[in-house]
């Protein structure tokens, strides 16, 4: 079944260390998704692709954001999107493990993220929603984001490790929900 990512209730956030002592947090403000989910109570039936507008990066500092959009980091003019395509989901204790291909700057690498399923609900407008949180850590240099400045103490200006947290909701596509409801009320034909 087709589901639509709810951009107003989805957050794609990240954090990295600055000078090894402070955490800089940021997010991407423009994200879309093509999601299929056969059973909203069983995340292992899900698949799809999340697409992020690389230029929508926001860390609260225009100067830093422009640097991150530039060739030293995301090179958003030449690589306008970041994508995560699910290749598999499996149960991992009470939660789940989501494997997928993450593409940044035209480089695709496999990643595994932890997924905490929040379940399904019906909103006040009768829409079925499913939500949860993906978390994990990547090494940005694996995608060619190698810009850095060495520090006198042997450290680096920007950490190679980047923590990810994607929290969001998907909604069952209205047309498909109505079609499914209609099919359930129709008598079976032979």
Give per-residue pLDDT as tens, 14-27. 999 998 889 999 99
pLDDT of residue 111: 97
Q: Are 45 and 39 spatial neighbours (Cβ–Cβ below 8 Å)?
A: yes
**The dihedral of CA 114, 57, 110, 83: what is its sign?**
positive
Q: Tens digit of pLDDT for each residue in 30-43? A: 999 989 999 999 99
pLDDT of residue 20: 84
The residue ranges of every structural domain in the chain are 2-180
41, with CB counted inside 10 A (0-12, 13-18, 19+), is exposed
Tell me how crowded residue 5 is: count the other CB atoms within 10 A of its CB. 19
The band of 11, judged by pLDDT with boundaries at 50, 70 and 90, is very high
pLDDT averaged over the chain? 89
- Average pLDDT on 103-130 reads 94
Tokens linked to 154: 């042997």
Closest-CA residue to 102 (of 111, 92, 93):
111
Single pTM value for the model:
0.86
How far is residue 4's CA from residue 36's CA, in Å, rounded to a whole number? 9
Q: Could you tell me the CATH superfamily of domain 2-180?
A: Lipid/polyisoprenoid-binding, YceI-like (2.40.128.110)
Q: Is the pLDDT of residue 108 over 50?
A: yes
């Amino acid at each position: 079944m087709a589901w639509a990512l709810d951009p107003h209730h989805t957050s794609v956030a990240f954090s990295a260390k600055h000078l090894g002592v402070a955490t800089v947090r940021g997010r991407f403000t423009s994200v879309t998704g093509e999601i299929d989910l056969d059973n909203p109570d069983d995340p292992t039936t899900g698949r799809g692709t999340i697409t992020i507008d690389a230029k929508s990066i926001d860390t609260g500092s225009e100067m830093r954001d422009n640097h991150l959009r530039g060739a030293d980091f995301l090179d958003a003019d030449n690589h306008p999107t970041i994508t995560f395509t699910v290749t598999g989901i499996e149960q991992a204790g009470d939660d789940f493990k989501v494997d997928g291909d993450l593409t940044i700057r035209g480089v695709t690498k496999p990643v595994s993220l932890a997924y905490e399923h929040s379940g399904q609900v019906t909103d006040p407008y009768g829409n079925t929603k499913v939500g949860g949180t993906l978390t994990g850590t990547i090494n940005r240099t694996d995608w060619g984001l190698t810009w850095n400045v060495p520090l006198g103490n042997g450290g680096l200006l920007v950490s190679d490790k980047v923590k990810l947290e994607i929290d969001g909701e998907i909604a069952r596509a209205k047309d498909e929900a109505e079609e499914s409801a209609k099919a359930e009320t129709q008598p079976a034909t032979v």
